[in-house]
């Protein structure tokens, strides 16, 4: 079972790239972030015409998450919005339960707040959101089910996850509070899929559009798939489709894909 996460950075602007990648990679479930589209104007028809099922939690102009899958989720299993704050109107979380061999897997697509600039409500919101995610993950782990929390976490977990760590010391993505919250999440018993498969540095999922970051490989790793033990025991491989960054009109992120045995 191939499960992917990709911050598409505007699904309408990247639709050709998305369709090409779906044809090329053929994931079972693709978790998209930053679709920047309300549900009604998401290009569902073009995607469904190729045999995919689409679930969205959209928002006009920014944010927005989606799940694209070969098989539809189990009836009644789609949940939109991260629990814990009824006043939060940002479209940043969607999850559903999918067939997984003879069992099922709960898969979430999440878009964690960026948090910049430091010292503002945006950073406080990021940390509160991470606390909510931790509570939600703890509740889900108690069910002892195959769980995949996939998305753009906007967190650089470790210095080796950046080509130039010093350049990020004043950024919300690399603050001790952000990294500590990510570690607490993992310490619940979740497994960082890529790090379970490969401990090397130099593995990135994001390259800024500015200053030739892609050409210089000046990247960071902020797109993660965290697995419950029930999912991690089936982990076969992890890949970063970095070549997609070189396509025409690319997102600044690339897909990260895990392969779980059925």
Query: Could you state, in order of their start, the residue ranges of all structural domains in the chain?
Result: 2-260
Q: What was the pLDDT predicted at 4?
A: 98
The model scores a pTM over 0.85: yes
Active site residue 204: no
Model confidence over 182-213: pLDDT tens digits?
A: 999 999 999 999 999 999 999 999 999 999 99
Q: State which fold the 2-260 domain adopts.
A: Deoxyribonuclease I; Chain A (3.60.10)
Q: What was the pLDDT predicted at 262?
A: 86
Of the residues 23, 88, 89, 111, only one is catalytic, namely 111
Active site residue 152: yes
Whether cis (ω within 30° of 0) applies to the bond prior to 92 is no
Please give the mean pLDDT across all residues of the chain: 97
Model confidence over 57-75: pLDDT tens digits?
A: 999 999 999 999 999 999 9
Digitized pLDDT (tens) for each residue of the chain, 262 residues in all: 999 999 999 999 999 999 999 999 999 999 999 999 999 999 999 999 999 999 999 999 999 999 999 999 999 999 999 999 999 999 999 999 999 888 999 999 999 999 999 999 999 999 999 999 999 999 999 999 999 999 999 999 999 999 999 999 999 999 999 999 999 999 999 999 999 999 999 999 999 999 999 999 999 999 999 999 999 999 999 999 999 999 999 999 999 999 999 8
């Amino acid at each position: 079972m191939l499960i992917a996460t990709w911050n598409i950075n505007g699904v309408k602007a990247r639709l050709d790239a998305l369709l090409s990648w779906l044809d090329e990679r053929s994931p079972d479930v693709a978790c998209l972030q930053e679709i920047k589209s309300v549900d009604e104007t998401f290009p569902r028809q073009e995607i469904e015409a190729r045999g995919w099922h689409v679930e969205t939690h959209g928002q006009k102009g920014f944010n927005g998450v989606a799940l694209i899958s070969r098989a539809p989720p189990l009836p009644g299993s789609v949940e939109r919005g991260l629990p814990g704050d009824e006043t939060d109107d940002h479209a940043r979380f969607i999850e559903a339960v999918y067939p997984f061999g003879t069992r099922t897997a709960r898969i979430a697509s999440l878009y964690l707040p960026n948090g910049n600039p430091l010292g503002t409500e945006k950073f406080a919101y990021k940390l509160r959101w991470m606390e909510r995610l931790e509570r939600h993950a703890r509740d889900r782990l108690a069910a002892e089910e195959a769980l995949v929390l996939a998305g753009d976490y906007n967190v650089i977990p470790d210095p080796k996850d950046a080509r130039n760590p010093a350049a990020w010391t004043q950024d919300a993505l690399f603050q001790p509070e952000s990294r500590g919250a990510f570690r607490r999440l993992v310490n619940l018993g979740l497994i960082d899929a890529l790090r379970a498969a490969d401990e090397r540095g130099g593995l990135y999922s994001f390259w800024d559009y500015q200053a030739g970051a892609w050409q210089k490989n000046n990247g960071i790793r902020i797109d993660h798939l965290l697995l419950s033990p029930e999912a991690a025991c089936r982990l076969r491989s992890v890949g970063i489709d970095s070549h997609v960054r070189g396509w025409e009109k690319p997102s600044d992120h690339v897909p990260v894909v895990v392969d779980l045995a059925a």
